[in-house]
Amino acid sequence: MVRTQKEAKDLQIAYIGGGSKGWAWGLMSDLAMEERLSGTVKLYDINFDAAYDNAMIGNSLYDRSEVSGKWKYEAVRTIDEALQGADFVILSILPGTFDEMDSDVHQPEQYGIYQSVGDTVGPGGMVRALRTIPMYVEIAEHIKKTSPQAWVINYTNPMSHCTRTLYEVFPDIKAVGCCHEVFGTQKLLAAMLEDLKGIRDIDRSEIKINVLGINHFTWIDEAYYEDINLLPLYEEFVDKYYKQGFEGAEEDHWMNNHFASAERVKFDLFKKFGLIAAAGDRHLAEFMPHSWYLQSPEKVREWKFNLTKVNWRKENRTHLLEKGKRLKDGTETFELNPTGEEGVGMLKALLGLGDLITNVNLPNTGQMPDLPHGSVVETNALFSYDSVRPLVAGKLPKPINNMVAHHVENQAITLEAGLKKDKKLGFQAFVQDPLVDLAPEQAEELFENMLINTSDYLPGWDIYNSLSV
């Protein structure tokens, strides 16, 4: 149960996926720099040793003089141990392994389908969803049984499916899905103000926006800095940089960073539809027909973003594992740096330590009236003491809403297929994704191969039952 403000010094956080070599370290850093919170973080992971190592790393921070938030970390062997007495639950897991992700991203390339991320939509996002859904069914059941009053913050992708599954299994769950993609667009608008108006040192939180859409396919129809309406400026900015793209500092250049872009996809979508697309180009491209931005690696380079190869992720994981060993044995010092995520800010607001308005993923209760009730949408919400209230975002223009609605409905079919373990229904969603521009026979072959490659994570599925095309 959420504590009162006076009890914010004895919090219990359950971290599911506590062996993480990215998100968990980021949370440790943010918690260590927040003086108003302290308590215990219980780390649960299917790899107990990884959670144990993270507990050692987290506990090494406790006595450092510059650490304001005092937290104890404990690795536990069962999810219920982690959830027992939890005020908050953090969900940050890798659904499967990088081998399954390799199939998600690269198996479709044999059929001419390229994906820049492969974790939300497209063939990779769909199959990732099918193996993630049973995991989240189990997580939701444990939360319902062990910590039904806890607030749940999900960072795992595919965000919409994860959040929707939690609510399907446990309708009274208090869960939100968090994503930082919109933050990048706020930073771009701040850079625009410096470029066009010479206004420097703007924090992205000073850019006030109205967010509409679904995760990784969000849009902004209102944006202000103080009394400056940013949409007319954005049109000027797009005209200035449409052809060459907007490239920031050298270390952030799209050719040197797997996750960076020159914003050309974002600019093109503004030219076509008149609103600011508010996610990274790598994600936005996957929601559109494959011929637009992802037709080939050469086309991707023309649009100045990257296909993130899974081999790179595997190599990076090796580096992170080596870093983890150094952090654990003390040969490398854990650096305290703010992540820019708002998870700790959400915790503070839910504890009554100041309100927060930010974009989150929640079931639609009217904040987007043109999308189905209950579908998970991404809009702004007000966080206050023990409360998250979605703010009415309004309606997208019909052409954009039609695109968003198609993905919403396809995600709903995928979720139903995952819950029912229904291969035919899954295939019906698969062939309706804009990236799957294949003959039926090819689509069936690809879908079946991808299911076989992820079959270890599809309990109860009849994988080898043939489809009739």
Q: Which residues are catalytically annotated?
A: 180
Q: In sequence order, what DSSP letters do the residues of 328-350 get, joined into one string? A: HHTSSPPP-------HHHHHHHH
State the DSSP H helix or E strand holding residue 152, giving kind and residue range, or none if neither.
Answer: strand 151-154
Q: How far apart are CA 304 and CA 250, in angstroms?
A: 14
283: Cα separation from own chain's centroid: 10
Q: Backbone dihedral region of 45: left (phi > 0), alpha (psi from -120 to 50 degrees) or beta? A: beta
CB 119 within 8 A of CB 56: no
HSE of 73 in the Cβ direction (CA atoms, 13 Å)? Answer: 28
Residues 68-85: b if buried by 16+ CB within 10 A, e if exposed: ebebebbbbeebeebbee
- What sign for the dihedral angle of Cα 233, 234, 235, 238? positive
Which residue shows structure tokens 């191969």? 449
- 234 forms beta bridges with none
* Helix ranges restricted to H, 243-296: 264-273, 281-286, 290-293
Task: Verify cis geometry, omega within 30 degrees of 0, for the bond prior to 148.
Answer: no
Nearest Cα to Cα of residue 169 among 184, 148, 187: 148
| Helices and strands, counts by H and E, the chain | 17, 13
Which residues touch 391 (CB under 8 Å, ≥6 apart)?
357, 367, 379, 380, 381, 382
- What sign for the dihedral angle of Cα 338, 361, 86, 138? negative
CB 88 within 8 A of CB 347: yes
Q: How far apart are CA 142 and CA 154, in angstroms?
A: 15
